[in-house]
Chain A
Amino acid sequence: MLAGEYKLIEEARQGKAEAFGALYDHYAKPIYRYIYLKISDKALTEDITHEVFLSAWQNIRNYKFQGFPFSSWLYQIARNRVIDYYRTHHESVDVYEIEETTAKLVSQPANLDPDLDLERVKRALHRLSPDQKEVIILRFINDLSPLEIAAIMEKSEGAVRLIQFRAISNLKKLLND
């Protein structure tokens, strides 16, 4: 959570663009990453990220603090936009295409575990169910707590933990195949 986030949100609610700008600077990268890992298209990810923050700024006066960080609200908007995108396009994403495009952005780290290959992890990630994939992205890539993920996915914390457990088991199975 961003330091002084409540103050920034209050100022943004009063129409102060600089305050929302600070929130944008802090959250744009994780929101972009979240959308990219779900859509796997750079141009589309940029469009949706832009729409998410535009919508958040226009509707900032409708934001109510409900015990979760501001990011939960942003992730909810992003999640709905991604769902809308898939609903209108009905397109399936080619796993190999994802690998190719992701590989351009992620360079191979030097200290890789020899037993696990990054490409295989990415491929396995995209073979998980949408819920499992979402939990893995939010929990292990964007470092959100199960409680925050529960708020974003509108599920109970227990349900999120169960999805996480199944996602990890499936990911291990897929990697062992």
Chain B
Amino acid sequence: MINQLKQLQRIEPDADFLARSKKIILTASPKPEYIFQLRHAATHFFKVSFALGLMAVMLLVISGRFAPAPASLIASLNSKQLVRESTKYDFNLQLAEAQYYQEVDKQINLALNEIISNGKAGP
């Protein structure tokens, strides 16, 4: 089988093509070295910048300054939950109001009873 594969070594380009291609290639000139130096410098700069940026983010995460948004802030973005919460607060407010009036009623009753009892005890 290997010998069969080696038979494919007979595949060769046309001599005309080789001569023509070589002639065209050699009329061009190699790129100057400074282009590659500039390219290397740019690549190096981006690599270093990326590494430093990544390190800064990691430090922020480790130090805890770059924490995800608090749960309350995230919850405030949920409109359904907001509606639910507003209803709950209104309900709580009404309860507090009823409690207040109940207290006031008690105080008024106590005051009236005191006045009445004072009137009876008087001259």
Chain B at the A interface: mostly helix, strand, loop or mixed?
helix
Contacts A57-B30, A58-B30 given; does A21 touch B8 at CB 8 Å: no
Q: Does chain A have a CB within 8 A of B77?
A: no
Q: Which of A32-40, A67-75, A88-96, A148-156 contacts B (4 or more CB under 8 A)?
A: A32-40
B25 touches A113 (CB 8 A): no
Bound: A17/B26 CA distance, A: 6
The distance from the CB of A33 to the nearest CB of chain B, in whole angstroms, is: 5
Measured between C-beta atoms, what is the minimum distance from A116 to chain B in Å?
5
Residue of B nearest to A59 (CB): B31
Most buried by A among B1, B4, B6, B32: B4
Q: Flag if A121 contacts B4 (CB, 8 Å).
A: yes
Q: Are A113 and B4 in contact (CB under 8 A)?
A: yes
A64 to B1, CA, bound (A): 37
- Say whether A76 faces chain B, with CB atoms less than 8 Å apart: no
Chain A nearest CB from B87 CB (Å) reads 58
Q: Interface residues of A, CB < 8 Å — how many?
A: 46
Pick from A17, A102, A136 the residue with the most CB of B within 10 Å.
Answer: A17
**Residue in A15, A28, A57, A140 whose beta carbon sits within 8 Å of that of B5 in the complex:** A140
* Contact sample, A vs B, 13 pairs, CB 8 Å cutoff: A46-B13, A46-B21, A54-B28, A57-B25, A57-B28, A57-B30, A59-B31, A106-B7, A106-B10, A112-B4, A116-B1, A116-B4, A121-B4
Give B contacts to A, CB under 8 Å. Answer: 1-14, 17-18, 21-22, 24-26, 28-33, 36
* Interfacial residues, chain A to chain B (CB-CB below 8 A): 12-13, 15, 17, 20-21, 24-25, 28-29, 32-33, 36-37, 45-46, 49-50, 53-54, 57-62, 102, 105-107, 109, 112-113, 116, 118, 121-122, 125, 136, 140-142, 168, 171-172, 175
User: Lowest 5 CB-CB distances: which A-B pairs, in order?
Assistant: A121-B4, A32-B13, A140-B5, A17-B26, A62-B36
